[in-house]
Chain A
Amino acid sequence: MTNDLTRLTADALATKLAAGDISSVEATQAHLDRIAAVEGAVHAFLHVASDSALAEAADIDRRRAAGEQLHPLAGVPIAIKDVIVTKGMPTTSGSKILEGWVPPYDATVMTKLRAAGLVSLGKTNMDEFAMGSSTEHSAYGPTHNPWDLERIPGGSGGGSAAAVAAFEAPFALGSDTGGSIRQPAHVTGTVGLKPTYGGVSRYGAIALASSLDQIGPVSRTVLDSALLHDVIGGHDPRDSTSLTDVWPSFAEAVRNADVAGLRIGVIKELQGDGFQPGVMERFREALALLEGAGAIITEVELPSVEHAIAAYYLIMPAEASSNLAKFDSVRFGLRVNPKGGGTVEDVMSATREQGFGAETKRRIILGTYALSAGYYDAYYGSAQKVRTLVQRDFAAAFANADVLVSPTAPTTAFKLGEKTGDPLSMYLNDIATIPANLAGIPGISVPAGLAAEDGLPVGIQFLAPAREDARLYGVAAALEALLEEKWGHTLLSQAPDLSSSEMNATDEGAV
């Protein structure tokens, strides 16, 4: 039943497309067929753009046949997180308040994808406005982890990670405010990178927290993330926080991967208590492999990390409460008229009550509180000072190490429903990923294996100084090669084949 084309990496698809071995229509149709086969179980997509995807693919095939010089990735399919606005495809950010909204413009990353000829398969599920670590806060129902359908795919970008892990797309776009690219990668056995803040334009990404948000790549291999990053990165005059740096080729960084002499600092505070034994086991094994390949493993301390979550859960809701004020029932999205009418403010309040989910309301209220008169200095002001302390810690650590390393998250995928009743325990799960967002530095999560106790994927996170994203691609690609050599296969080749497990489910009554 499995179509071979969906098992190929984006890089391999690109090679076959360029050689004329396959057409973009064939590659696109194979992924649409796979989506049709497994979406009932996974629910990674909020919108599948079958018709426009096949039309885009046919156009690429036509241009290639006409001898046009195309981008190396032209004709390769891709999935787009629903936080990114897309002309012609509905964009909801996982919220009822934007149900059915078709944006009148493209995000800059979409403009770049279209210019490179990538084929958009559709929009992926996410926690509402990217608020969550499990996709359970999506207004359209959760995504299921392809490794175990009873478990979370991570969040907020669980849809993009699950789509890639379930071979519904070779790669995808994600966004990362506190770990929404890296933590889903960790729990689904995939790769995800949060670029340096400003490395990728945020224009057209529906803002959660503007000083923390960053768009980045999600894929099955380190090279595919690098290839995608090379397409979406770079300066954008439409985003005033976009960096003007000229970036090196990240694909080249992957191809030249070498850890000999690389100083890798193990973050002392991000291990031990609260970290699952199977997560730590894979972590230490990965470090031993890197050391064997010539890396120098040292220990570094980030003492302010213990306050990072607290600072994050003040800064992020504060910025979110401000950003989400735009959902006012006037220019786009839902409008709810209260019984008996009312003023525009009454309409606004009724619309936001009905259109926002519980987590979004919680964070808006929390942020409004943190910014309100009398509390602003104590909470928001103090959180911004903690941000300075976290940055200073990183600066000191990077004086003695080229990259830092930690497990990406404390545990493997937890069960759907396990933490929804306790928001704080969900928040604490983000401990390892949040510091990079506070400091604006890049971070990558790459598969490290399966935890012995539950057989679920474990990721390892590398962090680099701001603007040094290429280092992450180098070290992650080196580790990926070492691990796959040791295993004799990719991690995702061990994931359940969902199309057959669904059939078993009807026979056995259980998956």
Chain B
Amino acid sequence: MHFFEFTEEQKMLRKAIREFAEAEIAPKAAEWDEQDVCPAELFKKMGEIGINGIFTPEQYGGAGIGFVGRTICLEEISRYSAGLGIAVMTHHLGIYPILQFGTEEQKKKYIPDLCSGAKIGGLGVTEPGGGSDFIGQKTAAEKKDDGWVLNGRKCFITNSHIADTTVLTAKTGQDEKGRTKLSAFIIEKGTKGFEAGRKEHKLGLRGSVTGDLVLTDVKISEDALLGKEGGGAKIGMEGIGEVGRAGMSAICVGILRGCVEEAVKFANERVVGGKAISKLQSIQFEVAKIRTAYEAARLLTYYAASLKDAGLPCANEVTTAKYYSTEAAVEASKRTMDLMGGYGIINEYPVGRFLRDALASIPSGGTSHIMQVIMAANTLSGFQA
């Protein structure tokens, strides 16, 4: 029995996306990083080949190949540009809540354009008070006769300045026990009072845009409410828990593969004292550790995605994968840099970027500490092997 053997379609998908990534992403990834620009124009091309709507059913313009397929896409893209990887992963994060909780009208209205690349998606949850203090968010939506009026500010939002369609959460009152009720809304770019604000200057995952979304008396109609009133916490958490963190994990699998491939290339080419450094055991130990990290992260990540495809609960597996893959990517890129000696810190090589991208992947979707808190709670309350 093989665990996680790709199907024939998944193998073809990997080959197709790899060809796309080698042709369209690899040659420009360093430039996007250096200039910190997001190649938003690529969304059109990615839409044509099916990346944007990879897990979206065909009836809404997607490819319908599921979450293992999505993981393949993010690994292949992030092998060369984790920055573009997080832009794509966030785009998926914008589609997922509409697909999962939207009405038929909302799905038909928003999703086909998000799949084709005509529009870019985003999700806005985090606020200056902290992303993981989910219920403590302050952005508020007030019900008016003919819709809602929103005020507040979201921060650290990926795709903030390029998204056309954003799902965001806001307080819509309190329940009978006095707890904050959150609701989710779909807001389109250009809506009066809805603007992108401060743009962050990031250490890593450059080539994606991260910034504020500012809401000042934003009036939206009744049908912009996504799911039930008060259902925003579930909508936000499911998206982040099963799609966002899974995406970050897949991105780091891509970074880890980059580390393996760059380490092998360098170790075989670099000659010191008359022989390639790959002949030295000290280098071989490093290569073995980097490879092990890649394989382990890959297994955790694809396993979690396969559970999602099977319709099984996967939040805990995704959390484990995200925690491991992001930390492993930091360690492996540092090892790869060490292996390369002085060359490791030269920007002509991508390994420095790998390290910065891996570091920036840790807080995206919840830090390692938050992942550990979630895992510990799950383990202490009912671990079963």
Tell me whether A and B are bound partners. no
Interface residue ranges, A against B (CB under 8 Å): none
